[in-house]
Amino acid sequence: MFFQKKTLVLLLTILTTLLLAACGSNTNNTQSNSGGEATPAPSAAPSASPAAERKLTDGLGNEVTVPANPQRIIASYLEDYLVALGVKPVAQWKVSNGIQDYLQDSLKDIPTIPYDLPFEDVTKFEPDLLIVGSSATVEGQKYGQYSKIAPTYVLGDSVVNDWRKALLKMGEVLDKGDEAQKVLDDYEKKAADAKSSIQAKLPGQSVAAIWLVKNKFFIVSDKQSSGSLLYGDLGFQSPAIVKEISAKGTGNWNSISLEKLAELDADHLILINSDKGTGAKALEEPIWKSVKAVKNGNVYEYPRTSSWLYYGPIASSQMIDDVMKDIVNKQ
């Protein structure tokens, strides 16, 4: 009998302990609502892993410590990539006669910085990351000076001259690799669809892009700038004159005389007119009027503020829009 009572006391003690523990647990996981009722307390949301600084090797072999979530970026003449990735710089590229107008829907409130990045101007903007395209920008002792102001990452010439490589590299530097790949994939699909339409409506036809500035003509290279888009991405035929001048030239745009221009047998001619509003006397010359595409009324004129003088995912996408609207869909 004593044993049974002792056992009963022990069981009651254990039961009481368990009930108290349960009540304590319930108290810790409930909260009172405005009516005084106990309601389940919200569980804590899992916290995302905080971004951390990363060490990357740039195009010149420099080890660069890229800060986590940089907020004050200067990437002069690389703004096309920043905008494509949803990033706003603290300052944007500028030359004496203008800025990248085609990007101003996204950059209209961003102050400008001279294209050659004077040290005092860079310092004034207090950047936390400086991204440079060409190695010439940091030649001599310049890299050391810039790196004292902010971590400085140089893409390098082999990257910056190929906008696709530059886009992916910018994505890597900004820890937006997935976003960069999506931008590229979307562009490739858009270009492929446009090329298919061009081949269906304008099979075998040729095009050339001409830039008029200060009464002189320049013709785009067949493998660079908008030439890469026209002949590579969109599949237009490259006229013999374009191939000839491109083989001898070294730039994105190479000088062409009026006499040579007269030999241009392109079916379509894209004219970027930087002389618009200043007379453009060259367009009154009889030789210009004798050019095949001019005589046939197949000239498509764009201002210097358009994207045709630039490169990058946004510039290239806008050029495709121009081609489809003004050339393909009007046939």
* pLDDT (average), residues 144-154: 98
**What is the Cα–Cα distance from 61 to 72, expressed in whole angstroms?**
24
Question: What DSSP state is assigned to residue 49?
Answer: P
Write the pLDDT tens digit of every residue in 98-138.
999 999 999 999 999 999 999 999 999 999 999 999 999 99
Check pLDDT > 50 for residue 233.
yes
Question: What DSSP state is assigned to residue 151?
Answer: -
The continuous run of DSSP H or E covering 64 comes out as strand 63-66
First to last CA, the chain: 108
Residue 33: what pLDDT? 40
**What is the Cα–Cα distance from 56 to 284, expressed in whole angstroms?**
54
The continuous run of DSSP H or E covering 80 comes out as helix 79-84
231 phi, psi to nearest 5 deg: -95, -25
Residue 162: what pLDDT? 95
Residue 12: what pLDDT? 38
Top CATH class of 201-328 equals: alpha beta
The continuous run of DSSP H or E covering 106 comes out as helix 104-107
> Are the C-beta atoms of residues 113 and 137 closer than 8 Å to each other?
no
Write the pLDDT tens digit of every residue in 1-60.
433 333 333 433 433 443 334 434 343 333 434 343 333 444 444 445 567 899 999 999
**What is the Cα–Cα distance from 144 to 113, expressed in whole angstroms?**
20
Beta bridge partners of 219: 210, 254
Mean pLDDT, rounded, of the chain: 87
Q: What fold does the segment set 54-177 form as a domain?
A: Rossmann fold (3.40.50)
The pTM assigned to this predicted structure is 0.83
Q: Which residue type does 27 have? A: T
Sign of CA dihedral 70, 74, 75, 80: positive
133 phi, psi to nearest 5 deg: -85, -70
- Per domain, the residue ranges of the chain are 54-177, 201-328
- Intrachain domains 54-177 and 201-328 with the same fold: yes
In this prediction, residue 97 has a pLDDT band, given cuts at 50, 70 and 90, of confident
Sign of CA dihedral 151, 108, 211, 189: positive
Q: Are strands 92-94 and 112-114 parallel, antiparallel or unpaired?
A: parallel
* pLDDT (average), residues 251-261: 93
**What is the Cα–Cα distance from 121 to 143, expressed in whole angstroms?**
15
The single residue listed with the structure tokens 């009651």 is 12
